Structure 1
Amino acid sequence: MIGLWAEPGVDPSRLAVLTERLAGRMPAETLAEPPASGIYLALTAAGLELRVADMPWQGLRADWLDAGLDRRAREGRRALIARALGLRGIATPRILDATCGLGRDSAHLLRLGCRVSAIERSPIVAALVADAVERAATAGAAWIGGWCGIAVDEAPARLKELMASEFDAIYLDPMFGGEQRSALPKRDLQMLRRVVGDDPDAGALLEAARATGLRVAMKHHPRSPALAPPDHQVRGGRARFDVYLPASGS
């Protein structure tokens, strides 16, 4: 059960929309005031936030309008993620982000001219992403037109039903535990782990992605071991991408 709370002054209809969005995916209850413990979703003037009552810092939002994403986009298709996914030479690449999370990499790919579809297993995190998409559209971000939607599902199962002709590449950024830590900031990572935990099925996820016959790029911390020997790697100071090519080597 997730609690839903709207700060004073927020349009009540937004709460109804959020409740409907979560319906059928997980139980939710409307709160008259913030709870004293546990996690909850807060509708604020700035957007939908994930909050943890016993963590003193500000709530976590999916922010696709962050200036840092604009700076990253200036690299164009020379960026590490673009090289890993083989975007060069494809006018409008079709990418499946199978581990969407807060969607910052999806937002980056949209800015690079990709059409992006996503999978996220947590309906809570998917709701944060949907809110970020709506705010970007309201702000008039032209690149949001490449967004093809997010499915709430377990990625390995979804990938087995995938028609490879729908996409050019698959992007994976699992939540690793221990030394295989995510490139997310520590605060964001802590909050997300309270909701979704780590991805113990990362190996199965990679196997399912490779079975599609598409190019696959998996993001790691630079010092993390590979889950399977890649065809090649694209390395940066804060992240590494292991690249798995189709049997044809394309």
Structure 2
Amino acid sequence: MSSSAHTAPIASLAITWLAPEYEARAAELASRLGYACVEHGDPAVQMLLQVGVDGLSLQATGPDAPGAVRVDFVEGALAHRRLFGGGAGQMVARAVGVRGGIRPSLLDATAGLGRDAFVLAGLGCDVIMLERQPVIAALLADGLERAQRSGGKVAEITSRMRLIQADAIQTMHEWEGPVPQVIHLDPMFPHRDKSALVKKEMRLFRPLAGDDTDAPALLEAALQLASHRVAVKRARKAPAIEGQRPSAQLTGQSSRYDIYGKRRLES
């Protein structure tokens, strides 16, 4: 979702609580993220990170605001995708090289809400996730914690997902530890078509994360680090990221993957 650029607090965002018992946690979170902690309904705030019984959620406050966004690996769309999404036949799985017994070690350098990472962890990959935007990272961390508490299969899957809140480009340049075989990138593209613009997550996240205008530097850092390949998710008709040309492409109905191969993945 987001790789680098501005991470300073957004002036029109604040932390709030949805029930009295969550006020202390909201205050702690506000202190940690550098935002004000306000009561629900403050008219000066355009976006609220809410603490409640269902964990953290992000809610815009305007009259035509979309519904709240939260990370839920246990129920809803991600649970349905885990059960019925197509397994290793999904485009993201094919793009990173999942096939047969091959389960590459992965770095998702633009983690966002962790959807692609969850799919890949569900197929057996170990995934390190980078997310630079602190509010988005907080939503993802909260979803991972609730998934672990839920136990069962979802807890097993999320145990293969590790989140680091950090600038992706800097982190990849300074990488320490085992080198990821495959790096997955999904930069926020500046010019989405209208159908994507109305998605509530894009409407909420664009003021937070902005556009990834540094996508060429992100791709360059990924190509330097990955041992085997880099897979870049793009809108179907979007141009490739400036720089090295992809060695292959996978195209779906609304998106595609540009694949930059370095070495053949083997089991």
- TM-score norm. by structure 2 comes to 0.82
Q: How do 1:39-54 and structure 2 match up within 5 A?
A: 39-54=47-62
Contact 1:181–1:224, Cα closer than 8 Å, also in 2: no
Q: In the alignment, does 2:81 pair up with 1:72?
A: yes
Distance change (3 Å), C-alpha of 1:59 and 1:71 = closer
- Of the three residues 143, 155, 158, the one matched with 1:144 is 158
Q: 2:17 aligns with which of 6, 22, 43?
A: 6
Counterpart in 2 of 1:192?
Answer: 205
Q: Which residue of 2 aligns with 1:125?
A: 136
CA distance in 2, matches of 1:85, 1:130: 23
For the Cα contact (< 8 Å) 1:181–1:221, is it kept in 2?
A: no
How far off is 1:46 after superposition?
2.2
1:231 aligns with 2:247: yes
Deviation at 1:108, TM superposition (A): 1.2
Q: Give the superposition deviation at 1:162.
A: 2.2
For 1:39 and 1:168, how far apart are their aligned partners in 2? 38
**Alignment check: 8 A CA contact 1:234 1:241 kept:** yes
The match for 1:206 among 199, 203, 219 is 219
Aligned in 2, Cα 1:136/1:79: closer, same or farther, shift over 3 Å? Answer: same
| TM-score, normalised by the number of residues in structure 1 | 0.87
Counterparts of 2:193 and 2:264 in 1: how far apart (Å)? 28
Structure 1, 182-191 or 118-127: larger mean CA deviation: 182-191
Equivalent pair of 2:22/2:51 in contact (CA under 8 Å)? no
Alpha-carbon distance in structure 2 between the residues aligned to 1:176 and 1:219: 10
**Which of the pair has the greater relative contact order for Cα pairs under 8 Å at 6+ separation?**
2
Distance 1:6 1:100 in 2: 26
% identity of equivalent residues? 33
More deviation in 157-166 or 207-216?
157-166
1:56 aligns with 2:70: no
Contact 2:180 2:225 (C-alpha < 8 Å) held by counterparts: no
Kindly tell me the number of residue pairs found equivalent between the two proteins: 244
Q: Which residue of 2 aligns with 1:245?
A: 261
Task: Tell me the alpha carbon deviations over residues 1-53 of structure 1, each in whole angstroms, 9 at most, x when there is no partner.
Answer: 54211112544453355346xx2xx4122213332132221112222111222
2:174 alignment partner in structure 1: 161
State the match for 1:86 in structure 2. Answer: 97
Structure 1 pair 70–8 and aligned structure 2 pair: CA distance change class (3 A): closer
2:236 match = 222
SS of the aligned residue for 1:234 comes to strand
Q: 1:134 aligns with which of 145, 168, 179?
A: 145
Q: CA RMSD in A?
A: 2.4
Q: Does 1:171 align with 2:178?
A: no
Aligned partners of 1:30, 1:16: CA distance in 2, in Å? 6
Instruction: Find the residue that maps to 1:165 and give its secondary structure.
Output: coil
Unaligned runs of 5+ in 2: 1-8
